[in-house]
Structure 1
């Protein structure tokens, strides 16, 4: 491994530096992730998800990579919002929403789930899933598949 030159700064120094044009956006993104994490509530480790669902950790990881489970990275560790589980299993309605967003950043998906929307009468996608509003969720998923002009 090559030694780091004396004049090289690490990410934290660069992000917080007063001369760095990205220090403001980085700080705002970090704060937004903190707010999302707080709003999401309980976060579970892969081991806790395994204990809850009876699935092995490898299957949980495969489901995460396939977009069937939501996990966000916090301090280089994947954690799973507890709201996506219902009675010890992955909520199928939630899984359909997550699958539709499998190409999106997990933090973006979390934001989508938690954001209240006037189109849903002030409810969030998470609230629609928890309320078992199949009609609204199905309509949302159908709109994702179109260009908006169909």
Structure 2
């Protein structure tokens, strides 16, 4: 709005001239307030959705924290022989993994050797078949 009168405003005559030429100014269009209300409603909906998601994530975090603390407490309360047996079992499993890895590598080596042997045998069979054909042809 432009003030009428005073040092920074327009004169009453200028204001009357503007009203005569352009009509009274009534502010922003009515539709713009509807759009603003729709925008505000959408922002409110998004805010509520984000708030709900935050609350769900916080609840999940709280549940996991309680579970983690319970498990830590259970481990701390476990008798030392149980801890030792669990640790020993873990070491045994690690040793078994190493042993099985060695077996896998040996099987890979054996397969590579068998593939090579099969190729050599196939070549030898071809040579023998060629010799048989020569002998058969010579007898005929």
Q: TM-score, normalised by structure 2?
A: 0.23
Structure possessing the higher radius of gyration over alpha carbons? 2
> Would you tell me which structure has more strand in proportion to its own residues?
1
Q: Which has the higher contact order (CA 8 A, sep 6+)?
A: 1
Q: Which has the higher helix share?
A: 2
| TM-score (normalizing by structure 1) | 0.22
